[in-house]
């Protein structure tokens, strides 16, 4: 395939759907419920809804929507830390746009900006570094957020700042590792997952082997996939075929992008700059060991957490009427939350899953997945 429309070809999609429907009853076997397949990434969730893929699938398959994106699992206490840094005199706080409206216990970064803080949206950490060069008298902080997809860019930016001796630049590190997050999901007693669609962009960095524990320790097949409709359908066919044939493997549908060993240069930069935290709190997932990332002691001068002497934040939770944690873990659908599409919507997001463009609540709202909620109301 060379062109985008080839990844959206209706005839090929129809053939894949027919094969999935043929194999699904065999794959389900004697299970008392449909195959529970989690798409870990919010990009996959949006593709499923945008192109109507979920409605094409047989009743033997149920898609379970996973964490979505790092914004979705960001605890409110870390948003409070962002605001606290932004409120410091002389600070320019820079961030990707999707983090601007995530609510903390006091306010969001967008509200902090409205209150007079110098909060700026940027498109890459290198934009923040450019601001640091132009403003040597100010402290420039970049909100380093993301799974492994964005870790190489922030690590390389920090290394560039170090080479240039830019002491007024720092990262507020909130990166998250995908395998540890998956392990937390797999040990959740409320979930009965049968398999995974793994995120292609993360895998482009880490490769395929970090997922081996999913098949080895938990006996759940996994397929790495891209984000076009035919990517998703082919990955689902590969997964259902594994079930039908009694196999349990890590397969790579996205081989045109994802090398088995990952991005060697990116992984080297990550290893040089970052290390895992012993424990980190995530929205809906609780405290997870080795999932959070922090800056190594060798680069402490570029760590905003150390520079601004942030204290360990107390655990915070969403308001009781919001079911963000249950939706994020895949044990509840967005329309089952009493606030969904009522008090919580994209214009007035109360939870991170509605703020983030990759959140499952945002996907359900954007693509009209309101009918089932109304039918069951």
Say if residue 71's pLDDT is above 50: yes
DSSP lists the bridge partners of residue 65 as: 39
Note whether 125 and 142 are within 8 A (CB).
yes
* 24-28, 156-160, 353-357, range with the lowest pLDDT: 353-357
d(CA 128, CA 75): 24
d(CA 74, CA 353): 10
SS3 352: helix
Phi, psi (5° rounding) for residue 91? -90, 135
Q: State the pTM of this model.
A: 0.89
pLDDT at 15 (0 to 100)? 97
d(CA 273, CA 295): 6
User: Mean pLDDT score of the chain, rounded to an integer?
Assistant: 91
**Average pLDDT over every residue of 166-180:** 96
Q: How confident is the model at residue 261 (pLDDT cuts 50, 70, 90)?
A: very high
Note whether 238 and 223 are within 8 A (CB).
yes
DSSP lists the bridge partners of residue 63 as: 37
- Select the highest-mean-pLDDT range: 282-291, 293-302, 335-344: 293-302
**Average pLDDT over every residue of 160-168:** 97
- In the chain, DSSP finds a helix count (H) and a strand count (E) of 18, 13
pLDDT at 312 (0 to 100)? 62
- Select the highest-mean-pLDDT range: 75-84, 278-287, 305-314: 75-84
Can you state the angle between helices 125-134 and 151-164, rounded to 10 degrees? 20
Q: How confident is the model at residue 1 (pLDDT cuts 50, 70, 90)?
A: low
**Average pLDDT over every residue of 325-345:** 87
**Average pLDDT over every residue of 62-85:** 88
Longest distance between any two alpha carbons in the chain, whole Å: 67
**Average pLDDT over every residue of 138-146:** 97
- Which DSSP helix (H) or strand (E) runs through 161? helix 151-164
Which of 142, 139, 141, 133 shows the shortest CA–CA distance to 165? 133
Cβ-based neighbours of 352, under 8 Å, separated by 6 or more: 71, 72, 73, 74, 102, 103, 283, 324, 359
d(CA 330, CA 15): 29
* 26-30, 41-45, 257-261, 368-372, range with the lowest pLDDT: 368-372
Say if residue 94's pLDDT is above 90: yes
| Side-chain-facing half-sphere of 109: CA atoms under 13 Å | 28
pLDDT at 320 (0 to 100)? 78
Which of 262, 286, 273 shows the shortest CA–CA distance to 209? 262
Q: How confident is the model at residue 311 (pLDDT cuts 50, 70, 90)?
A: confident
Angle, vertex CA 223, rays to CA 217 and CA 227, nearest 5: 140
State CA 126 to chain mean position distance. 22
- Beta-strand pair 169-175/139-146: parallel
d(CA 87, CA 83): 6
Say if residue 370's pLDDT is above 70: no
Phi, psi (5° rounding) for residue 36? -100, 105
């Amino acid at each position: 395939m060379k062109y985008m429309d080839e990844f959206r070809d209706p005839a090929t999609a129809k053939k894949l759907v027919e094969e999935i429907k043929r194999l699904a009853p065999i794959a389900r076997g004697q299970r008392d419920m449909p195959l529970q397949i989690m798409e870990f990434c919010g990009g996959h969730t949006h593709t499923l809804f945008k192109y109507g893929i979920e409605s094409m699938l047989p009743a033997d398959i149920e898609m379970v929507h996973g964490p979505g994106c790092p914004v979705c699992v960001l605890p409110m206490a870390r948003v409070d830390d962002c605001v606290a840094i932004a409120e410091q005199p002389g600070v320019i706080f820079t961030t990707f746009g999707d983090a601007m409206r995530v609510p903390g216990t006091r306010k969001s970064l967008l509200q902090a900006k409205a209150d007079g803080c110098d909060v700026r949206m940027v498109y890459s950490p290198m934009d923040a570094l450019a601001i640091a060069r132009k403003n040597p008298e100010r402290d420039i902080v970049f909100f380093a957020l993301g799974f492994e997809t964005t870790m190489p860019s922030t690590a390389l930016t920090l290394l560039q700042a170090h080479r240039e001796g830019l002491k007024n630049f720092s990262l507020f590190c909130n990166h998250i590792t995908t395998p540890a997050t998956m392990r937390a999901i797999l040990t959740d007693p409320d979930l009965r997952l049968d398999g995974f669609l793994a995120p292609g962009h993360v895998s482009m960095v880490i490769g395929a082997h970090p997922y081996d524990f999913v098949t080895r320790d938990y006996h759940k097949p996994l397929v790495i996939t891209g984000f076009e409709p035919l990517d998703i359908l082919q990955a689902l066919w590969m997964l259902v075929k594994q079930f039908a044939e009694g196999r349990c493997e890590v397969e790579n549908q996205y081989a045109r992008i994802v090398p088995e060993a990952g991005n060697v240069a990116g992984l080297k930069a990550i290893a040089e700059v970052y290390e895992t935290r012993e424990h980190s709190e995530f929205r809906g997932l609780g405290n997870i060991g080795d999932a959070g990332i922090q800056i190594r002691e060798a680069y402490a001068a570029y760590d905003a957490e150390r520079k601004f002497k942030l204290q360990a934040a107390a655990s915070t939770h969403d308001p009781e009427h919001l079911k963000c944690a249950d939706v994020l873990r895949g044990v509840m659908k967005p329309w089952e939350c009493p606030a969904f599409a009522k008090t919580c919507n994209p214009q007035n997001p109360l939870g991170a899953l509605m703020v983030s463009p990759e959140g499952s609540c945002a996907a359900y709202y954007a693509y009209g997945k309101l009918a089932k909620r109304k039918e069951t109301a």
